[in-house]
Amino acid sequence: AVVSTQSTGESVGAELSEIGFNLVSAARKGKRGGGVAFLLRSNIKYSRCKTQTLSFECLEIFVKGTVGLRLAVVYRTGNNHDQFITEFEEKKKYSALIPLL
């Protein structure tokens, strides 16, 4: 997992693809720079999960295989500690209820 990527992912993603990797990224919205990402080997099958948060950046994927695995990368920005804790706790509950398909 990568936080504060400082990249749109397009140019870096193309270079990584040439050496056998995929860059799965979510750019920071409303601000320049930043974002979060996963760097995966190109033979790993995954799907992107829908995620909406207000107090932190989040990218969630489901890695497909013999045993499914849900991964999330979280990056908290600013001084919004209380809002982050509340929203993160709700996110954990919600993610635990969604079945892995």
The rounded Cα 94 to chain-centroid distance in angstroms is: 16
Helix (H, G, I), strand (E, B) or coil at 42: coil
Look over the chain and give the mean of its residue pLDDT values, rounded to a whole number. 80
Mean pLDDT (whole number) for 48-76: 86
Q: What integer pLDDT is reported at residue 41 of this predicted model? A: 93
User: Of 94, 89, 35, which is closest to residue 59 (Cα–Cα)?
Assistant: 35
Q: Is this structure's pTM higher than 0.75? A: no
pLDDT digits over 10-37, tens only?
667 778 888 989 888 888 777 766 788 8
